[in-house]
Structure 1
Amino acid sequence: MNARQLFGGGVAVITGAGAGIGAGLARHASRLGMTTVLVDVDAAAIAALRDELRAAGASAVDKVCDVRDAEAVQALADEVYRDLGPVRLLVNNAGVEQFGYLWDTPVENWRRVVDVNINGVFHGIRAFLPHMMAGDTPAWVWNLSSIGGVAVVPLQAAYIMSKHAVLALTECLHLEVQAAGHADHVHVQAVLPGAVVSNIFESAGGVDGGDTSAAETQRAAMLDIKAGAMDPLVAAEVVFDQAAQGRFYLITQPDYVGSAMTERARVLTTHEAPRLRTERRFDPAQS
C-alpha cells in the first residue's frame, strides 16, 4: 500500500507547521488528500500556509497552540476530534535550537528547549493517543527526533540532549502501545531528519554572557550546512513513503543519517569516548 492509499482522506495534526519540515509535511499531506491541522505559535505563518493549501483545493485549518501548555494541547485534541473526526496522523514536530557552551546556557533557554522539544512531544501523546487507542481506525504517531538524536555535537548540548530524549521516548512508546494491546491499529514511528531547510538556526537561542563568540561560531557553522540542506517538501515525501513501507525509523537522507546511526552504534559497542573534531562543518560520520 502506498502513502496516498494509507493516509489520503485522513486528518493530520502537525505541530510546528509554520516552517521547515513541519510545513513540508503539511504540504505533502495535503497533496495526498489529507485534511491538515496546522499547529504553531506563529499565527501569521500557519494562516498563510492555510490559505496556500486551500487555494490549491485542499482542506486545511490553522490552530494557534503552544505545545508547552498541556491544557492547551488537550483542548486542541478534544476540538479536533469533535469538529474533524479521528486523527489518522499526529506529527509532534515543534522544536527549537540552542547554541553555546552548556555552562553558559541561560536557565530560561534550557527550559525552553526541554519544554518545547521534549514536553511538547509528551503533551501531544498524552492528549491525542488515548483518542487513537479508543478508536478502531488505523492511526500513526510520528515524533520528530533528528540526526542529532544519534550524534553528539559540542555547543549544542541542550538540543542534542532533547533529540536523544525524543528518540528514546518514541522507542519506549512503540513498545508500550504493543504492551497495551493497540499495535494492531496504532503505529508509532520515529522521524530522524538530516539537514532540512528551516529557520531553526536563525531563531535558536544563544548566550547572554560567557563565550558568546563560540556560540555564534557554532550558529554560523550550522547556517553553512543549511546552504546545502534538503528541501522540506522532498524530505516530507521520503518520510511518508518510508512510513507507508512500515519502517520504524523514518530517515530523510538514508546515507547521511544512516552513517550517523552506524557511527553511534560503533562508538557504543567499542566503548570509545567521544572525540572532538576540529572541522567546522558537522559530519555525522565523524562525530
Structure 2
Amino acid sequence: MSARDTFGGGVAVITGAGSGIGAGLARHACRLGMSVMLADVDETAVISVRDELNASGATAEHAVCDVRDPDAMVALAERTYAGLGPVRLLVNNAGVEQFGYLWDTPVDNWRRVVDVNVNGVFHGIRAFLPKMIEATTPAWVWNLSSIGGVAVVPLQAPYIMSKHAILALTECLRLEVQLAGHEHIRVQAVLPGAVASNIFESAGGVDGVAGGDVNAAEAQRAAMLDIKADAMDPLAAAEVVFDQAAEDRFYLLTQPDYVGSAMAERAETLATQRAPMLRTKRRFDPAAQ
C-alpha cells in the first residue's frame, strides 16, 4: 500500500517536532491526511509549526513537553487519546548533540544526552505503547537512531553512543512485540543521514575553564555545520521515510545509498573484528535529526 493508504486518516505523535526532521515528518504526515500532535520543549518553534499546519487545512495540536519527564509523556498520551483519538504513529524523535573529548564532557551534558536521546525514547514507549496495544488497530512506532547509530566518530561519543543504544533498543522492541503476539504493532528504526536541522548549533560543548579542549570541540562543531550546508531537506527526508515504512521495511533510511553504505561498512568491521581506525577525512559523518 501507499503511504497515504497506510497512514492517512490516522493520528501521529511526534516529539522534537519544532524543527529539523521532526517538523518535516509532521508536515508530510499532514500531507498524507494525518492529524498530528506536535511535542517539543521549544514553545515558540512548536507553535509556529502548529500554526503553519493548521493554516494549510490540517489538524495539528501542540504540547510543550520535555521527553526527559516520564509523567509529562504520560500526560501527553492521555491528552492525545482524549483530544485526537487512537495513535496510529508514534515518532520518538527528540534528540540533542554533544561535541568534545569524552573526558572533557561535563557531567550535566552527558546526562542531557542520555536523558533526551535514550530515556526520552523509553518514556515515549512506556506512555504510548500499552494504549496502542490495547486498541488492537494497526499502529507504528518509529524510534530515531541515526547514521551515527552504525558509525564511530571521535569528539561526539555521547551522541554516537546514544544512537547505537536506540538502534539496539528498537531491534529488541520489535522482537518483544512479536514475542508478545501484538501483530498489529509495527516497530521501525529511522536512520537519518545528513538532514538539515539546528541540532549542531544547540549542541553542548566543553568547559575551557575546567581544562577542556574547547578548540577540538568547536572544530568538530564547525565540521558538522559544513555538512549541514549540503544536508537533505527535512520534508524530502520525511517523504522517503513514510514511503519505506509503508513498504514494511524495518530500517528506514533517509538516503538509502549513503546510510546503507555506512551500515555495510559497520557490518564488515564487526565481521572482520577490525579495530576502529582514525581517518584524516571520514567517509561517513553523522548528521542527526
User: TM-score band, normalised by the shorter chain?
Assistant: over 0.9
Fraction of identical pairs, as percent? 77
Partner of 1:30: 30
Deviations 1:261-283 (A, max 9, x none): 0000000000000000112xx42
Mapped partners of 1:22, 1:98: distance in 2:
19
Mapped partners of 1:61, 1:75: distance in 2:
14
SS in 1 for 2:99: coil
Deviations 1:142-181 (A, max 9, x none): 0000000000000000000000000000000000000111
**1:127-146 map, 5 Å:** 127-146=127-146
> Quick check: 1:263 aligned with 2:265?
yes
Partner of 1:161: 161
* Paired amino acid for 2:257: D
* Paired amino acid for 2:196: V
* Paired amino acid for 1:96: V
Deviations 1:68-96 (A, max 9, x none): 00011011111111221100000000000
SS in 1 for 2:202: coil
Partner of 1:230: 232
Partner of 1:194: 193
* Paired amino acid for 1:84: L
| Contiguous gaps of at least 5 residues in structure 2 | none
Mapped partners of 1:136, 1:166: distance in 2:
25
1:62 Cα offset (Å): 0.6
Mapped partners of 1:136, 1:259: distance in 2:
37
Partner of 1:241: 243
Mapped partners of 1:136, 1:177: distance in 2:
13
SS in 2 for 1:217: helix
Partner of 2:180: 180
Residue of structure 1 aligned with 2:217, choices 195, 215, 227? 215
* Paired amino acid for 1:189: Q
Mapped partners of 1:104, 1:283: distance in 2:
25
Deviations 1:79-128 (A, max 9, x none): 11122110000000000000000000000000000000000000000000
Partner of 1:75: 75
The runs of 4+ residues in structure 1 deviating greater than 2 Å are: none
1:246 Cα offset (Å): 0.4
Mapped partners of 2:235, 2:85: distance in 1:
26
SS in 2 for 1:207: coil
- What do you get for the CA RMSD once the two structures are aligned? 0.8
Partner of 1:250: 252
1:63 Cα offset (Å): 0.6
Mapped partners of 1:283, 1:218: distance in 2:
15
* Paired amino acid for 1:50: R
SS in 1 for 2:190: strand
SS in 1 for 2:266: helix
Mapped partners of 1:18, 1:106: distance in 2:
26
Say which is worse superposed, 75-84 or 89-98, in terms of deviation. Answer: 75-84
Mapped partners of 1:17, 1:75: distance in 2:
17
Mapped partners of 2:112, 2:58: distance in 1:
33
Total equivalences in the alignment: 282
Partner of 1:104: 104
Partner of 1:203: 202
| Contiguous gaps of at least 5 residues in structure 1 | none
Mapped partners of 2:284, 2:23: distance in 1:
25
Residue of structure 2 aligned with 1:273, choices 265, 272, 275? 275
Partner of 1:86: 86
1:135 Cα offset (Å): 1.0
* Paired amino acid for 2:124: G
> Quick check: 1:21 aligned with 2:18?
no
Mapped partners of 1:72, 1:202: distance in 2:
26
